[in-house]
Amino acid sequence: TKEFCNLYETFIDILKNGPKYQTHTYMHRYRYVMEYDTEAFVDPMIINQALHEAWNTTPSKQNMMPYSVFVIGPGSSKIRDLIYYKAVQREYITNSPRYDIDENDPIAIEKEFLKQRPIPQYYNFKTAPYILIFTQRVEDKMNIWNQHLSDTQGMNFEQASKDRMHRAAKLSSIEIGMFAQTFSNSCLKHGVDISHTRCLPTELEWWSEPEFSFLENPPVMVMSAGIGKQYRRGFYSFLDHSIDYRPDFERIVKFV
């Protein structure tokens, strides 16, 4: 019957995508992108609007926003390839098993990887029309109120000190996550997919190429945005919510 078919389709959808709950955001549209559609046009105004919305609404301690967001738009593929191969190296150095390959030879590492498995998830860097690189930033021009607090009450702000910026690193990461969430929600609202990764070198010496001369501090996280062509679920035909799920609500949210 029609009712049974609808129930069956609902059941299959829950297995693949998890249960649906009422939401007032667009994050339920999120799917991890394995490959972006290089033929699909992404309106730059959508990206600009999403960035502006994130800048305008993301909370920040003392309104300092101790991070920078560098936006790599459509253009040369070299910088995308460099980021991809840095992720290849980082995964190889971090994980096991290790092969008898020089860790400074990402081409050889990639070749060995592809013998063992499908393309890595961060392959999307190669096809992403937009890439966002987040780094920590020192605020060198405090607003009037913070400057007043510093001058009259002797308040010290770690976000505004190069000597103490390491103390603001965790705060910076938290705020980067909030910015990324707002940016993601705005993109997904307009049909633009996003993905993000931390599988990258976090030491500045790994980013010494001229293409990254704009970096004053090492990346904390890198995001990509575009129109998805292949997604993680679907690329792996066996992957669905029945085996790939997050911890139960009660394990994460604990009412005291």
pLDDT score for 22: 62
Mean per-residue pLDDT, 192-202: 93
pLDDT > 80? residue 18: no
pLDDT > 80? residue 48: yes
Tell me which residue has tokens 């605020």. 139
What is the reported pTM?
0.87
- Closest alpha carbon to 184 in 46, 21, 41, 7: 46
50-92 pLDDT, tens digit per residue, is: 999 999 999 999 999 999 999 999 987 899 999 999 999 999 9
Mean per-residue pLDDT, 96-123: 87
Mean per-residue pLDDT, 98-115: 89
pLDDT score for 72: 96
pLDDT score for 21: 63
SS (H, E, C) 63-116: HCCCEEEEEECCCCCHHHHHHHHHHHHHHHHHCCCCCCCCCCCHHHHHHHHHHH
pLDDT score for 42: 96
pLDDT score for 14: 72
Mean per-residue pLDDT, 89-101: 85
pLDDT > 90? residue 127: yes
Q: Which two tokens stand for residue 28?
A: 């339920």
pLDDT > 90? residue 129: yes
239-251 pLDDT, tens digit per residue, is: 888 888 888 889 9
The C-alpha atoms of residue 41 and residue 37 are separated, in whole angstroms, by 9
pLDDT score for 37: 97
For the sheet with 67-72, list strands across it.
67-72, 130-136, 219-226, 193-197
pLDDT > 80? residue 11: no
pLDDT score for 234: 82
Average pLDDT, the chain: 90
pLDDT > 80? residue 19: no
pLDDT > 90? residue 2: no
Under the banding of pLDDT at 50, 70 and 90, the label for residue 20 is low
Buried b (16+ CB within 10 A) or exposed e, 178-189: ebbebbbbbbbb
159-191 pLDDT, tens digit per residue, is: 988 889 899 999 999 999 999 999 999 999 999
